[in-house]
Chains A and B, each alone.
Chain A
Amino acid sequence: MSEVAITRTEWLQVCKRSDLVANSGVCALVGDQQIALFFLPEQEPQLYAIDNWDPIANAGVIGRGLVAEIDGELTVASPLYKQHYRLTDGQCLEESDIKLASFPVAFDGDYVLIKIDQ
């Protein structure tokens, strides 16, 4: 590859608040990175962002999973084989050596910001 990759971390505007689906997930694309975004209006924090790639099923589907509370922790259940991933840090509850990347995420007025290495 001839391109020189410049890495910098900054807050990016990825979508609008109205693009989100309350109590559920959607997916955004930043560069090559698919990011699953969960919006839980009744919880604190309200926003969560983890890798959309399910490494067990080998498919980009995490954002389509069901939000489930397991032993007091908020998780998303993979829609394919139902493993639970912690929304705050992407840790898989069933397989201790599997952890999805997680990203800082916040509202900025009507927009959703994500902090990501580019």
Chain B
Amino acid sequence: MAGSNPNAKPMNLTLKVWRQPNRQAQGQIVEYHVKDISPDMSFLEMLDVLNEDLLHAGQDPVAFDHDCREGICGSCDLFINGRSHGPEKGTTTCQLHMRKFSDGDTITIEPWRANAFPVNKDLSVDRSAFDRIIQAGGYVSVNTGGAPDGNEIPIPKEIADRAFEAATCIGCGACVAACKNASAMLFVSAKVSQLALLPQGNVERKTRVENMVAQMDKEGFGACTNIGSCAAECPVGISLENIAILNREFLAAKATSNNLA
């Protein structure tokens, strides 16, 4: 079956892939060759081709995380040619298509590199540190039942839209991988901003930012030095402005904190 572009020519590529059997083992870059790659394939479909080849040859396929392949679940997390999710701006690995590469290219594929994201195997890393940061306060404490009518809390459209922009973070970790300090500030700031902007989040505003920042530090993420590569590489365009909001929220909370611990 032809692709959507009948003029596109299939490509042959050299892949340099990080292989590491498990967390404890030493890893290394291994070179592979893939042939007849359609430009209409997604990057992960190209890796599917590699893995089918490897399996047929009796070799261990490359482990990588992926699921929805629509750019929304945040599972896929490849560091391609030195960039989070590869060369295309505003795109997750699963939505990156091979038409962004050329016949004969060599592509280097690594896992996210950060102390807080240890490797499970090959290209799959453990991002549970993000979950623990949310558990530290990334929620509104409201039990099921007893919520007031949805229209009882009018929220100006402009505020709702800004909260939505912050809420679109998919938790993939590209920001951490892109940062030379492996800082998680953009991720944390997105959730802090969303809930700080909305009236629902107001009650726990101070403790939330204090606890989430404390957990972030505990997980071993680096400090933010305002380089901005996180926002530049974020596949869903989370704005650097959120980090400014986080800093302001944090300062305000610390200056007036009720949290004596």
Instruction: Please indicate whether A and B come from the same complex rather than being unrelated chains.
Output: no
Taking Cβ atoms with an 8 Å cutoff, the residues of B that contact A are none
